[in-house]
Amino acid sequence: MGRRQLWRRVSSIPPITYFKPAGISMAALDEVRLLVEEAEAIRLKDLDGLEQEECAQKMNISRTTFSRILDSARQKIADALLNGKAIRIEGGNYEMAFRRFRCISGHEWEVPFEAMISAPPEFCPRCETPSIMPLIPPGMGRGRGGWKRRYQGGRNW
């Protein structure tokens, strides 16, 4: 039996999660499913230009795991671009690096991943009210099963 997969840390869900070639009807279109952590790997390495070691640290995984995720993402994107397929970004094995909260008085704040693991917030840091709720990250609203701490394989756990 293999080792359990670690949750990959991502900073955000891409605001646009579906890309389609122009001029091809949806009925005739094949799709490539790019996992959220694969999109995050592409963002960190190719868009932000970070070194693989730094990318791996930001995602809370080993450098070799990051390399495998990046290779998989690049292969899927190449397949979609060169073979006229749509790209859908969804699912995976990830958790958000920051959680944003709001209290009943309207104060908003972010809680880093490390703090969420050790002690999730129970009170607003400004007014100390216990009436707080997490804000739903972009791309994780209705139709995707709602917001949870972890999201895997297109379904909440």
pTM over 0.85: no
Tens-binned pLDDT, residue by residue, of the chain (157 aa): 666 777 898 887 888 999 999 998 988 899 999 999 999 999 999 999 999 999 999 998 999 999 999 999 999 999 999 999 999 999 888 887 777 889 999 999 888 867 776 777 888 999 999 998 887 655 444 333 333 334 444 433 3
Task: Give the span between the Cα atoms of 56 and 54, in whole angstroms.
Answer: 5
Question: CA torsion angle for 72, 6, 152, 95 (degrees, to 10)?
Answer: -100
Thinking of the domain 8-94, which architecture would CATH place it in? Orthogonal Bundle (1.10)
CB 155 within 8 A of CB 93: no
**DSSP secondary structure code for residue 105 in this structure:** T
